[in-house]
């Protein structure tokens, strides 16, 4: 994915987290830590926990943290799944899922919903995912996804239905916005949903 979109997505997620006043953040699917590093530098964040299924990604993030994120906040990294609730991942102010849900099989989304919105139950959840409608402008053929490891890519309407359903079933409100451009018909390259516990 192009670096301008990645940068805009990270900045948007960071702004929502910081603007919420969150001091404890759970990064679900933290990967190499592009957002994690940014959050580790935020003075208001006192606890930051990242989970991922890739030992290699977590190892790279550990190395990055040594030089890129001098911080006084408590940091933990765990090899774990975002679709399985564990008590240690409960009680956070905020959880972020940045370009992660599309890597799950669609039938696993109900497990993710139960784990995050039912078990972990942070007061704020930030989710971003590609906007399939924008793919032609990125040169992505109609029969392909942006990345080979994506299991689905949703239109804004489809993402909206999923987000609204999760919110209604779980006791959250939700708002959505486009990220990475504002085409009058196709929206942005990515899309974000912000869930707030009621």
- pTM, rounded to two decimals: 0.95
Percent pLDDT > 70 in the chain is 97
Q: Examine residue 185 and state whether it is found in any structural domain, yes or no.
A: no
Average pLDDT over residues 173-198: 93
Q: What's the chain's average pLDDT?
A: 94
Residue 159 near residue 106 (C-beta atoms within 8 A) = no
Residue 70: band (very low, low, confident or very high) from pLDDT cuts 50, 70, 90: low
Average pLDDT over residues 167-182: 94
Residue 9 near residue 189 (C-beta atoms within 8 A) = no
The CATH number covering residue 86 comes to 3.40.50.150
Q: Examine residue 184 and state whether it is found in any structural domain, yes or no.
A: no
Q: Examine residue 149 and state whether it is found in any structural domain, yes or no.
A: yes
Residue 137 near residue 183 (C-beta atoms within 8 A) = yes
- What CA dihedral angle connects 24, 28, 33 and 37, to 10 degrees? -10
Q: Examine residue 147 and state whether it is found in any structural domain, yes or no.
A: yes
Q: Examine residue 110 and state whether it is found in any structural domain, yes or no.
A: yes
The whole domain housing 51 covers: 3-173
- Identify the H or E element spanning 63: helix 55-68
Pairing of strands 124-130, 190-197: antiparallel
How far is Cα 2 from Cα 18, in angstroms, rounded to an integer? 25
Q: Examine residue 178 and state whether it is found in any structural domain, yes or no.
A: no
- In the numeric block, the tokens 């919105």 are attached to 117
Q: Examine residue 188 and state whether it is found in any structural domain, yes or no.
A: no
* Domain tally, the chain: 1
pLDDT at 1: 43
Residue 139 has pLDDT above 90, yes or no: no
């Amino acid at each position: 994915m192009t670096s301008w979109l990645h940068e805009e997505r990270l900045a948007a997620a960071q702004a929502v987290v910081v603007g919420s006043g969150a001091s404890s953040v759970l990064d679900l699917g933290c990967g190499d830590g592009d957002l994690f590093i940014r959050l580790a530098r935020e003075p208001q964040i006192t606890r930051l926990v990242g989970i991922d299924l890739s030992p290699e990604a977590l190892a790279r993030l550990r190395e990055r943290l040594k030089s890129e994120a001098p911080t006084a906040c408590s940091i933990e990294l765990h090899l774990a799944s975002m679709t399985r609730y564990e008590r240690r991942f409960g009680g956070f102010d905020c959880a972020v899922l940045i370009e992660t849900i599309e890597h799950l099989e669609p039938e696993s989304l109900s497990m993710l919903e139960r784990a995050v919105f039912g078990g972990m139950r942070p007061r704020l959840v930030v989710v971003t995912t590609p906007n399939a409608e924008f793919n032609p402008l990125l040169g992505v053929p109609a029969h392909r996804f942006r990345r080979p490891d994506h299991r689905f890519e949703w239109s804004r309407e489809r993402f909206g239905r999923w987000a609204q359903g999760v919110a209604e079933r779980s006791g959250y409100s939700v708002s959505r916005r486009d990220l990475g451009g504002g085409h009058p018909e196709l929206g942005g390259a990515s899309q974000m949903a912000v869930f707030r516990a009621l």
